[in-house]
Copies of this chain bind each other. A is one copy, B any other.
């Protein structure tokens, strides 16, 4: 596994920005696509940046807290959905297929293992058969947290090392409750600000979930001062810990890491708390309807690319956003420059041929 995360290279960021000024359009006219292009160049240290191959990693695990009735769906849905990811018929598959993205699925700790042979399924890194109910004790032991982090890193190192852009998804009935407790702890926000209806709780279910999150944060004495790994052990999930490891390994390999919704963004926030240089590699794919997501994106100082009122998870929003990153790479590498295309510059501009040549000869 790669050892450290290299900081984004601001020299390449600047070169990319200068080169973008030579492309045949008014300066800055492609807005956030140009930001993504600079981020790719600064991550990859080249103007010839690439956003392919791209892939989505979906980590699945179960949550002891589901016993508190915090989800609208029964716990067996975690494994049932994994079967669908492997059959290629879930939303994430359909969205990824259009973009030529692999969907790699791993069992980080489902209650019921799924026995399936599939080239993109990792069945053998499950750390436990679900977390413990964090109202009664820590969700995970420190050893389980370490094992899940290592599993996430290993999957990226062994299965996804060719990837340039990695979207992070998850499946785990009950995991918005875990994510809400993590977000409350990491940001210091009250449970009300970070707790939502998940897959569709009714009012009574929502009030109960709110109570569970409040209780969990109090019982474990969590605050922004608590070390991130302790927060993760107290109220986290095996798939969330795995995503933290995956994000760290991906950034260490200079991949852009695309966050999906609330849960994968909480994993992103934990990863940045552990490895601050990782922040430069993150992209917020979308803003989900889950209210805690905005709080976490704010803490990450990330503005989401898409706002489509989605709240599915499984990487779906992150995958959709990968198209924008691929398009950003195309803009950097396939568009003509003013000089090459013979297009007149602004009426108030001086010729810049010399500067353009200089940039291209790097």
Contact = CB atoms under 8 A, between A and B. Distances in A.
Interface of A: 23-33, 72-74, 76-77, 80-81, 83-84, 87, 89-91, 94-95, 97-98, 199-200, 202, 289, 305-312, 316, 320, 323-324, 326-327, 330-331, 334-336, 340-348
5 tightest CB-CB pairs across the interface, nearest first? A31-B309, A89-B336, A29-B312, A26-B199, A31-B310
A341 B27 CA distance: 49
Given A89-B341, A98-B326, A25 B312 contact: yes
B72 A30 contact: no
A293 to B, nearest CB: 13
A285 to B, nearest CB: 13
B343 A27 contact: no
Contacts of A311: 26, 28-29, 31
Nearest to A32: B308
A22 to B, nearest CB: 13
A195 to B, nearest CB: 16
B31 A327 contact: no
Given A342-B80, A347-B73, A331 B24 contact: no
Given A98-B326, A98-B327, A308-B305, A344 B74 contact: yes
A24 B323 contact: no
Contacts of A324: 308, 320
9 contacts: A25-B90, A29-B312, A74-B344, A76-B344, A77-B344, A81-B343, A89-B341, A98-B330, A307-B307
A89 B320 contact: no
Nearest to A74: B344
A312 B90 contact: no
A100 to B, nearest CB: 10
Contacts of A33: 308, 310, 320
Given A199-B26, A309-B32, A310-B32, A94 B330 contact: yes
A199 B33 CA distance: 17
Nearest to A89: B336
A124 B344 CA distance: 25
Contact of A200 (B27, B91, B343): B27
Contacts of A80: 341-344
**Best-surrounded residue of A25, A73, A312, A335 (most CB of chain B within 10 A):** A25
A341 B28 CA distance: 46
Contacts of A29: 91, 199, 310-312
Nearest to A330: B94
A233 B309 CA distance: 40
A89 B334 contact: yes
Contacts of A98: 323, 326-327, 330
A307 B311 CA distance: 19
Contacts of A30: 91, 308, 310, 312, 316
A72 B25 CA distance: 12
A308 B312 CA distance: 23
A340 B87 CA distance: 12
A335 to B, nearest CB: 5
A303 to B, nearest CB: 10
A36 to B, nearest CB: 9
A26 to B, nearest CB: 4
A62 to B, nearest CB: 14
A56 B76 CA distance: 45
